[in-house]
Amino acid sequence: MKKLVTGILGSAALMVSASAGWGATLDDVKQRGTLRCGVHTGLAGFAAPNDQGEWSGFDYDLCRAIAAAVFGDPEKVEAVPTNATERFTALQSGEIDVLSRNTTWTLSRDTSLGFNFAGVNYYDGQGFMINASKLPGINSALQLSGAAVCVQTGTTTELNLADYFAANNMDYNPVVFQGFDETNAAYEAGRCDVYTTDQSGLYALRLTLANPDEHVVLPEIISKEPLGPAVRHGDDQWFDIVKWTLFALVQAEELGITQANVEEMKGSDNPEIRRILGQEADTSIGTVLGLENDWIVNIIAGVGNYGEVFERNIGQESPLKIARGLNQLWTKGGIQYAPPIR
């Protein structure tokens, strides 16, 4: 009898524990009718508005994927532009539901700021860009001793910069700015010799300069910058939805499910494909998240798989033409990997 009571109490405790992490975010998003997504103020290829105010980009497409999972409609997104400092306050205060803004996953952000990072949608690293016409003969960051370096404050970039120059016994003059636009303008105006940020950002910035060919991204990568979406602590259901939306994009690419063939793939004989597309009779991959069982169909139909999102926004189909590198699937030499969706 004691064992039975213990078992019942243990099961009850497990149920309480499981339900305790279910917060109100999904309900709030549904009631509002839109997903409020914190994005960059304007970073080419990642999140930027066009002349009509329409947003697009790699990070913004993750917002669209989440909206597709929740509403079945990728357009139900309200972009909330945030700078490097505002992004954290916006998430903590509930102004936004998710932050998808080239943000590095670190221990302090994951703990003291009260965030949960839902995965890595882009493996990046900090680099340096110079105006080669003003610094002829420089082909390595190790030649930058004494340089004036433009850097945005309140970022891991600022800390990495200090560490790199100290570790290599080099001096430098930090030229610090609060905002992204101010930092860009200072570099273009020649107020510093070097610009440092995530290498993806350097390639994006380079496209906006008056003479892009004069500017060279140096080869050194001085940090690990795993960039990914973040949500607030305390709502495990919403955390799971954002996390598994990202994994669904990656898994779809691995299985060859694309925006063009997703409807056709619903009739596949492959049980794994049928399961993630909600076609198996006992499928519960949507209901356990509080979503419909065709949520992955809606994601892929709305935005495509991870590879499609990458290539059209920042890869070879885009002006940035960034190589997949570490962001290639694990089956193709990269480290993008999704846990089983089952």
Dihedral sign for Cα 315, 239, 332, 74, please: negative
Quick one: 212 and 247 in the same domain? no
Token pair of 8 as six digits: 């019942």
**Domain count of the fold of the chain:** 2
| 200 is a domain residue | yes
13 inside domain: no
CA end-to-end span of the chain, whole Å? 35
Write the CATH number for 214.
3.40.190.10
- Cα separation, 31 vs 34, in Å, equals 8
**Residue 240 and residue 193 share a domain:** no
Does 243 share its domain with 282?
yes
Q: 300 is in which domain, residue-wise?
A: 20-123+227-332
* pLDDT score of 14: 34
Q: Residue 4 domain-assigned?
A: no
Q: What's the rounded Cα separation, in Å, for the pair 94 and 212?
A: 39
pLDDT reported for residue 214:
92
Tokens 């680099």: give the residue: 127
Average pLDDT over residues 278-303: 91
* Residue 81 resides in a domain: yes
Question: Last residue of some domain: 166, 195, 223?
Answer: 223
Selection from 43, 125, 38 nearest residue 85 by Cα: 38
Rounded to an integer, the average pLDDT of 78-105 is: 95
Q: Is 337 part of any domain?
A: no
Q: Of 178, 197, 223, which marks where a domain is finished? A: 223
How far apart CA 177 and CA 187 sit, in angstroms, is 11
Query: Are 49 and 184 contained in the same domain?
Result: no
Q: Are residues 133 and 117 in the same domain?
A: no
DSSP per-residue string spanning 59-95:
HHHHHHHHHHHHHS-TT-EEEEEE-TTHHHHHHHHTS
Q: pLDDT per residue over 39-82, tens digit each?
A: 999 999 999 999 999 999 999 999 999 999 999 999 999 999 99
237 and 214 inside one domain:
no
Task: Kindly state whether residue 10 falls inside one of the protein's structural domains.
Answer: no
Which pLDDT score, from 0 to 100, does residue 155 have? 85
DSSP code per residue over 288-321? GGTS-TTHHHHHHHHH--HHHHHHHHTSTTSSS-
State pLDDT tens for residues 185-208. Answer: 999 999 999 999 999 889 888 988
Question: pLDDT tens digits for 4-15?
Answer: 333 433 433 333
pLDDT beyond 50 at 111: yes
Determine the Cα–Cα distance for residues 111 and 130; give it in Å rounded to an integer. 35
In a domain, 1, yes or no: no
User: What are the φ and ψ backbone dihedral angles of 253, each rounded to 5 degrees?
Assistant: -65, -45
Out of 161, 196, 223, a domain closes at 223
* 219-228 burial: b if 16+ Cβ within 10 Å, else e: eeebbebbbb
What is the secondary structure of 22-44 as a DSSP string? --SHHHHHHHHTSEEEEEES-BT
Residues 260, 279, single domain; the answer is: yes
pLDDT of residue 17: 36
The answer on 80 and 60 residing in a single domain is yes
> Which pLDDT score, from 0 to 100, does residue 10 have?
40
For residue 272, being part of any structural domain is answered with yes
**Do residues 68 and 60 make contact, with C-beta atoms less than 8 angstroms apart?**
no
User: Does residue 336 register a pLDDT over 70?
Assistant: yes
Query: Is residue 5 within a helix (H) or strand (E), and if so which, with residue range?
Result: helix 2-20
* Residue 149 clears pLDDT 90, i.e. is over it: yes
State whether 159 and 105 are in the same domain.
no
Same domain membership, residue 139 and residue 50: no
> Do residues 113 and 236 share a domain?
yes
Residue 319 and residue 245 share a domain: yes
Residue 23 carries which DSSP code? -
Q: What is the pLDDT of residue 2?
A: 34
pLDDT band at 180 (very low <50, low <70, confident <90, very high): confident
Look up the pTM and report it: 0.85
